[in-house]
Amino acid sequence: MTVSIDTQGRVAIVTIDNPPVNASSQAVRAGLLEAVTKTEDDPDVDAVVLACAGRTFVAGADVREFDLPLMEPHLPDVIAAIEAASKPWVAAIHGTALGGGLELAMGCHFRIADPMARMGLPEVNLGLVPGAGGTVRLPRLVEAELALTMIAGGKPILANVALTAGLIDAIATSDLLDEAVALAVEHAAPRRTLENAVVGASDAEAFDKTATGLRRKVRGQESIAAAIDAVGRGVRLPADEALAAERAAFLALKSSDQARALRHIFFAERATLADPRAKLTPRPLQRIGVIGGGTMGVGIVSAFLMRGFEVTLIERDEASLHAGADRVHATLDSSAKRGLLPDLDAVSARFDTAIDYAALSDADLVIEAVFEDMEVKKQVFARLDQVTKPDAILATNTSYLDVNAIAAVLSDPSRAVGLHFFSPAHVMKLLEIVLPGAVAEDVVATAAKLSKSLGKIGVLSGVCDGFIGNRIMSAYRAEADRLLIDGASPDQVDSAMRAYGFPIGVFEMQDLAGLDIAWAMRKRRLAEGKISGGYIRIADRLCEIGRFGRKTGAGWYDHVDGTALPSEVVMSIIAEERQTMEAVGKAFATEDVMPRILGAMTREAEAVLAEGIARSAEDIDVVMVNGYSFPRWKGGPMFAARSAGG
């Protein structure tokens, strides 16, 4: 039974059991409506507790139903029936109450949560606004401004925050269900959220200010603007009018292109490890070694520490070791200040440092994050081969180099893998798991499990220059340079990318990251004969005159007091290079830019797919959205191209 009814004394316990996340599917909605009728009609029932089996309370509407025609009963009607019930309903929340799940809980008359529970209305992330009363009920329980930030931001809040804000009535201190039953017995009469006044309605100015601030961050995502509008109506209109308008907005957005794209990426992110090897028994991982305390190494160390691993950081001398360790502690401190690390001392106690590789003799996994140079990486792997346990996994964090060649220095290359983290590694969700030819199957399983343990999205990649993401990025960067030769300006390219939805354009991004690293890499690739034909020297010439980006005050732009200004020096270098390459340099319209950038991206992506470097087009979309800021609401380059192509 998807929805069952038990009794404890005179309290009915209505339990939803719809794995994996108790989504409010048609069967759940129908079962709940029936439970309302049954409990209302039962003279032996005085109150009702609504609980869920398994790992979580209702995590939202069933997203898989969104492409099907609407099926009765609708969630708003189910919630209305619960709210109208004459007997009090108490929601017992564990895991996550999200979207339609939280709307259901707000339709109940009382709410109690497990201390670890999280609650939110994340519909914007699926291109929607709440569709079952969220924008009307939430501001009748918590301050309207908080309701607005929760709904437009889509981020859940923790139980203790929910209690202080007024979203829930209690946090369970022992058994959630027992305490929910006690709460139900305590309250003889229902208390209906919709009958509350809006909380903090008198402070309209603060609400409007928050709304204006949020609107500025919308970029191209329709659902955020729609959510701000919907909460505005929820706060200002009579409840019944606001509910009707919310439902209409939800239904209109549900079939929008952006909602389809966001659903695509939602499911694509959950399918990246659907590889038979990922299902095998992984090797146990507890002790981790990280070689190199630069920006990347520090981020990797922090990511592991925050997720419960023991980590030893190795550096070549005391000074570098101290600098790296200090940065790790600074990273942990700032995460603790943002409430992300409940017990900083316990986390720090799992951190150790050493100069001697012998400290890694009992490590289960070692990741090298040293200078991006093949010889240096090979030397590190050769030393690790000597000191580590024979079954320890050895990983390289290289972002371009040949992982097969690095693996080949080991006496057992099957234990080598690429773990390509993105900077800052303790924040960025993407992890490219790069599989050399000889990799052992249980190493793949271990890396897959590791990505989940770290809270990251692991994507399997074959070996090639730049793997999935950097290879595609190199291709569209080269196209951006060709656009300059053909007549566009850096500012025109960046503006077009921002208008498409990227947070930052390709030239602004280079200025932010620094032009010198890519320059060193191009020199290496030129020397190796890997770059030929039509090579564009503009970026090299900027580097030759010390224009390395923001850090030197000049790159593709002049950086004056934090503002990037178009540079005459750059424009004249571009003009000279056009001449050298005998290009005409015609006038360029901004709308001509994105088709060229997207074309280069998808051409390379199709090649990556055809060569088997990426397992699927969906994996490519996941990489570009999570590692390269491709606008999520366009679904990724492959989805965007295939949708445009019909």
Place of tokens 């291109």: 127
- Report 246-285 residues binding ligand 3H9 (CB under 6 A): 270
149 within 8 A of 210, measured Cβ to Cβ = yes
State in angstroms the smallest separation of the CB of 137 from ligand 3H9: 11
Place of tokens 């079952």: 132
Q: Candidates 120-128, 396-404, 516-524, 604-612 — which segment interacts with ligand 3H9 by CB under 6 A?
A: 120-128
Query: What kind and span of H or E run contains 11?
Result: strand 11-16
Q: Which of 60, 297, 490, 627 binds ligand 3H9 (CB under 6 A)?
A: 60
State in angstroms the smallest separation of the CB of 39 from ligand 3H9: 23
573 within 8 A of 543, measured Cβ to Cβ = no
Q: Is the dihedral of CA 576, 578, 583, 585 positive or negative?
A: negative
From 83, 123, 145, 577, active-site residue? 123
Counting contacts by CB under 6 A, is residue 75 touching ligand 3H9?
Answer: yes
Q: Is 123 a catalytic residue?
A: yes
Counting contacts by CB under 6 A, is residue 645 touching ligand 3H9?
Answer: no
C-beta closer to ligand 3H9: residue 128 or 162? 128
Counting contacts by CB under 6 A, is residue 627 touching ligand 3H9?
Answer: no
DSSP single-letter state for residue 60: S
- Report 211-230 residues binding ligand 3H9 (CB under 6 A): none
Q: Candidates 61-69, 348-356, 462-470, 618-626 — which segment interacts with ligand 3H9 by CB under 6 A?
A: 61-69
C-beta closer to ligand 3H9: residue 75 or 497? 75
Site string for ligand 3H9, 134-173 (x = CB under 6 A): x---------------------------------------
Contacts of 276 (CB under 8 A, 6+ apart): none
From 34, 65, 83, 103, active-site residue? 103
Q: Candidates 79-87, 118-126, 331-339, 412-420 — which segment interacts with ligand 3H9 by CB under 6 A?
A: 118-126
State in angstroms the smallest separation of the CB of 96 from ligand 3H9: 5
381 within 8 A of 399, measured Cβ to Cβ = no
Tokens for 634? 């366009």
Counting contacts by CB under 6 A, is residue 231 touching ligand 3H9?
Answer: no
320: exposed, middle or buried (Cβ count in 10 Å: 0-12, 13-18, 19+): middle
State in angstroms the smallest separation of the CB of 99 from ligand 3H9: 2
- Report 85-104 residues binding ligand 3H9 (CB under 6 A): 96, 98-100, 103
198 within 8 A of 142, measured Cβ to Cβ = no
- Report 382-421 residues binding ligand 3H9 (CB under 6 A): none
State in angstroms the smallest separation of the CB of 89 from ligand 3H9: 19
DSSP single-letter state for residue 531: -
DSSP string, 217-264: T-TT-HHHHHHHHHHHHHHHS-HHHHHHHHHHHHHHHHTSHHHHHHHH
Cα separation, 190 vs 271, in Å, equals: 43
State in angstroms the smallest separation of the CB of 456 from ligand 3H9: 11
Interhelix angle for 257-270 vs 239-254, to 10°? 70
Long-range contacts of residues 64-71, Cβ cutoff 8 Å, at least 24 apart? 64/23, 65/25, 65/26, 66/254, 66/259, 66/263, 67/263, 70/251, 71/26
C-beta closer to ligand 3H9: residue 99 or 490? 99
Q: Is 508 a catalytic residue?
A: no
C-beta closer to ligand 3H9: residue 20 or 43? 20
Where does 154-221 have alpha helices with state H?
A: 159-165, 176-186, 204-216
C-beta closer to ligand 3H9: residue 265 or 313? 265
Contacts of 164 (CB under 8 A, 6+ apart): none
C-beta closer to ligand 3H9: residue 21 or 623? 21
Pick the closest to residue 500 from 602, 608, 635, 616 (CA basis): 635
Strands (E), 478-522: none
Query: What kind and span of H or E run contains 516?
Result: helix 516-527
- Cα 612 to the center of its chain, rounded Å: 25
| HSE-up (13 A, CA, CB side) for residue 228 | 17
Counting contacts by CB under 6 A, is residue 64 touching ligand 3H9?
Answer: yes
C-beta closer to ligand 3H9: residue 98 or 468? 98
C-beta closer to ligand 3H9: residue 243 or 542? 243
Number of shown-chain residues binding ligand 3H9 (CB under 6 A)? 25
Tokens for 328? 């790790």
State in angstroms the smallest separation of the CB of 55 from ligand 3H9: 7
State in angstroms the smallest separation of the CB of 184 from ligand 3H9: 25
State in angstroms the smallest separation of the CB of 65 from ligand 3H9: 8
Report residue 97: phi and psi, to 5°.
-110, 105
Which residues pair with residue 431 across a beta bridge?
421, 458
C-beta closer to ligand 3H9: residue 62 or 479? 62
- Report 15-44 residues binding ligand 3H9 (CB under 6 A): 20-21, 23
601 within 8 A of 634, measured Cβ to Cβ = no
Q: State the residues that interact with ligand 3H9 by CB under 6 A.
A: 20-21, 23, 56, 59-64, 75, 96, 98-100, 103, 122-123, 126, 128, 130-132, 134, 270
Active site residues: 103, 123
